[in-house]
Structure formats: C-alpha cells, structure tokens
C-alpha cells in the first residue's frame, strides 16, 4: 500500500539512481506542464512529506531551482531504464513524464497524480497544508498530538487518515493502530491517549521505512499472512484471539472512510454505524451503515 513509508523508500531509491545526474531533455505528458522544460538541470535529490514526493532540480542561468511535485495515490510508479531499454507497450499510454539523462538512461513517471512544477522556495504552496511527518527532520510530535486531538469526537481512523493532522499514515496504519490501541476504529479520538498513539505511530512508520525486512510489518513477523493483526485477515481471523475479523467497505470519494478491518472481541467500542460523512452537496453529516465481511 503506498503510504508515507512507501514514498520515503522510493525517494531513497531515486536518490541512489538519479542524484547528481543532468537532465538532457524532459517530456511532460500532462497538458498543464506540456511546455515546461527541465533540460540542463541537475537532479539534486528527493524529499518527501507524507505521501507527497518532491524531486529537486538545480537552477539554470535564467530560472531558479525547481521542485517537481508528484503523488502516487494507488497506482503511480517511477521507472529508471538503462540505455536502449523501453517500457512495455501496454504501459506507454500511462506515462506522464519522461526525463532523458545525459548518461543516456531514461526515467519514466507512470500514472503520476497531482504533478506540479514550482520554484523550490515555493514548495510550501504545495505541501504546507500537511501535518507533521515522522520521517522528516522537522517532525513535531507535540504538534501532531495537538492536531489529532483538536476534534475529540472524530472517529479514530478518520483522524489518523487526515493528512493535515499527521502526514504519512494510510489505511493500513490507521487500521493496525486502532487494533494495537485496543479500541474500535470508530472510537472518538478524544477517548484514547493521543500522545501515546502518536509515539507508537511515529515509531512504527520509521521502523517500516528504515529497517530491512520490516516494511509494513506490524506484528513483528514478516511471514506471508502473518504480518498484520487484522488488515487482510477476514479469512484467517484475528491474529491475537483467532476470532472473526469484520470489514466495512469504503464510502466512495470520502477519504475519511476507507475500507476498515477490526476484531470486535479485541476492539470494543462503536461499530461502523458511527461513521460520519458529508451529505451530497456538502450538506450536514449523515451516518453510513453499509458493511460487509467480503474481501475488498
């Protein structure tokens, strides 16, 4: 699942492949950036803020240093090819950016979302709305706790998924953190120890990103089918008690209400009827009760 740790690991891989390389020419395949050119710039490196990737390029004689912003969402990827190599034909229609390097390698951005190119000193315009990120040097745990606890009635998973509160946590982490906290995913966030929750979330995200073999393992065991407590275990059952794992499907278009997994025995508290979403046209919140034990 592409979450903050996924993008951080991607940034480190791209740094190893591209940092210090000079772009010979660029080809943006999105209308808004079609006339922009990165030719002659050096790739300085990559940074992340939550799920957002920032690729930084050197200045030119006529333009300041630039930053390319991209988001993977669920299907984006980057591919660096050796000289003479080509992407499969079925992938070509989904290429949104091509960078031809002076060393004759090519870099392809595939199914990238929210592409933008700004002066590096304007990065804040693109990611300034995001909350603190445990994988950044400017991580601020107190600020993350303050933001998460600002609306104490908000369901726990919805608060964790809000990138404005704490950046980098996606659906996997929100569900597994609710399990490890020992409460229903829809428990009001004000009913849990938010400082402890933030510390646990930050530690797990860092461990996943930086420790070999620990990527998105929440149980301590990387064995297939044994790496999560509840996520994806609706067939196997809860890893702790062996009881059934229930699921409720996402509300389309509502980032606060994604697919949710939980063990009712290990996670007491409100059920999915406590989910709150905005009504059509931005009207008042309404409840959603549609649920399933099926596989998403």
296 residues of the chain, pLDDT tens digit each: 579 999 999 999 999 999 999 999 999 999 999 999 999 999 999 999 999 999 999 999 999 999 999 999 999 999 999 999 999 999 999 999 999 999 999 999 999 999 999 999 999 999 999 999 999 999 999 999 999 999 999 999 999 999 999 999 999 999 999 999 999 999 999 999 999 999 999 999 999 999 999 999 999 999 988 999 999 999 999 999 999 999 998 888 888 888 999 999 999 999 998 887 643 333 334 444 333 333 33
Of 51, 206, 233, 275, which residue is the catalytic one? 51
Of the candidates 142, 231, 143, 150, the one whose C-alpha atom is nearest the C-alpha of residue 188 is 150
Asked if 38 contacts 107 with a C-beta cutoff of 8 angstroms, the reply is: no
Q: Which helix (H) or strand (E) holds 4?
A: helix 4-18
Question: How many alpha carbons lie under 13 Å from residue 48 in its C-beta half-sphere?
Answer: 26
Q: Which CATH superfamily is domain 4-128 in?
A: MutM-like, N-terminal (3.20.190.10)
Q: What CATH number should be reported for the domain whose range is 141-272?
A: 1.10.8.50
Distance CA 78, CA 71 (A): 11
Distance CA 185, CA 164 (A): 19
Residue 158: the pLDDT is 95
Residue 284: the pLDDT is 39
Of 3, 96, 132, 155, which residue is the catalytic one? 3
Asked if 13 contacts 216 with a C-beta cutoff of 8 angstroms, the reply is: no
The yes-or-no answer on residue 2 being catalytic is yes
The yes-or-no answer on residue 3 being catalytic is yes
How long is the chain? 296
Q: Kindly state the tokens that stand for 269.
A: 């508290």
The yes-or-no answer on residue 51 being catalytic is yes
User: What are the domain boundaries of the chain?
Assistant: 4-128, 141-272
Q: Model's pTM, two decimal places?
A: 0.90
Of 56, 206, 233, 258, which residue is the catalytic one? 258
């Amino acid at each position: 699942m592409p979450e903050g740790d996924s993008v951080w690991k991607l940034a480190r891989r791209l740094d190893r492949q591209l940092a210090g390389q000079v772009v010979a020419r660029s080809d943006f395949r999105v209308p808004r950036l079609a006339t922009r050119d990165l030719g002659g710039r050096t790739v300085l490196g990559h940074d992340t803020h939550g799920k957002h990737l920032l690729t930084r390029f050197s200045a030119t004689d006529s333009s300041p240093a630039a930053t390319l912003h991209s988001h993977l969402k669920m299907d984006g990827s980057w591919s660096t090819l050796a000289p003479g190599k080509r992407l499969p034909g079925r992938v070509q229609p989904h290429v949104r950016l091509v960078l031809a390097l002076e060393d004759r390698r090519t870099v392809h951005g595939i199914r990238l979302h929210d592409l933008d190119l700004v002066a590096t000193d304007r990065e804040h315009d693109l990611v300034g709305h995001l909350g603190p990120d445990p994988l950044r040097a400017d991580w601020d745990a107190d600020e993350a706790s303050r933001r998460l606890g600002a609306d104490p009635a908000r369901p726990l998973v919805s608060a964790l998924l809000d990138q404005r509160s704490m950046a980098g946590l996606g659906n996997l982490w929100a569900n597994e953190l609710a399990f490890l906290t020992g409460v229903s995913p829809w428990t009001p966030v004000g009913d849990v120890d938010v400082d402890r929750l933030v510390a646990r979330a930050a530690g797990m995200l860092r461990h996943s990103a930086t420790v070999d073999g620990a990527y998105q393992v929440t149980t301590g065991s990387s064995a297939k089918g044994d790496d999560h407590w509840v996520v994806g275990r609706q067939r196997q059952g809860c890893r702790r008690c062996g009881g059934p794992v229930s699921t409720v499907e996402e509300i389309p278009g509502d980032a606060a209400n994604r697919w949710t997994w939980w063990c009712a025995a290990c996670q007491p508290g409100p059920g999915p009827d406590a989910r709150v979403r905005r009504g059509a046209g931005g009207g008042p919140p309404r409840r959603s009760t549609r649920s399933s034990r099926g596989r998403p």
